[in-house]
Amino acid sequence: MAWHSLSSNHIRVVSATFRQSYTGYGFQFATGIEKHAPLPQAVNDTLQPVRVQQAAPIELATRQRARAAGTVNSISQASIAPISDDIEEYDTRPVRAEEEEEYADEEMLPQEASSKPQYRLSVGMGLDPGLVRKDAPNEDNIFAMQGIRPGSSGPEPVGLFVVADGMGGHADGQEASRLAIQIISDIVSPTLLREAELEESFGGIIKDATHRANLTLYQRNRQKEHMMGTTLTAALVVGTMAHVINVGDSRTYRYRPSEGLSQITRDHSVVARLVEKGLIEPHEVYTHPKRNQIYRCLGEHASVEFDYFKVELQERDILLLCSDGLWEMMRDPEIEHILSGTSTHASRASSLLIQAALAHGGHDNISVVIACLLAEE
d(CA 351, CA 127): 9
Q: pTM above 0.85?
A: no
d(CA 102, CA 179): 22
Torsion of CA 155, 160, 161, 166, to 10 degrees: 180
Q: Could you give the domains of the chain?
A: 12-98+112-375 (3.60.40.10)
**pLDDT in single tens digits along all 377 residues of the chain:** 222 222 222 222 222 223 333 334 455 656 654 444 444 333 333 333 333 333 333 334 334 443 333 333 322 233 333 445 555 554 444 444 344 343 333 343 444 444 677 999 999 999 999 999 888 888 999 999 999 888 777 889 999 999 999 987 756 888 999 999 999 999 998 888 776 556 668 999 999 999 999 999 999 999 887 789 999 999 999 999 999 999 999 999 999 999 999 999 999 988 888 988 889 888 888 888 888 788 899 999 999 999 999 999 999 999 999 999 999 999 999 999 999 998 789 999 999 999 999 999 998 899 999 999 999 87
Are the C-beta atoms of residues 146 and 112 closer than 8 Å to each other?
no
d(CA 161, CA 156): 16
d(CA 67, CA 59): 12
d(CA 122, CA 371): 6
- Structure confidence at residue 27 (pLDDT): 56
**Dihedral sign computed on CA atoms, order 302, 303, 305, 307:** positive
- Structure confidence at residue 200 (pLDDT): 61
Among 357, 363, 250, 257, smallest CA distance to 36 is for: 357
Three-state SS string across 236-281, please?
Answer: EEECCEEEEEEECCCEEEEEECCCEEEECCCCCEHHHHHHHCCCCC
**What residues pair up with 182 in beta bridges, in sequence order?**
none
- Structure confidence at residue 170 (pLDDT): 58
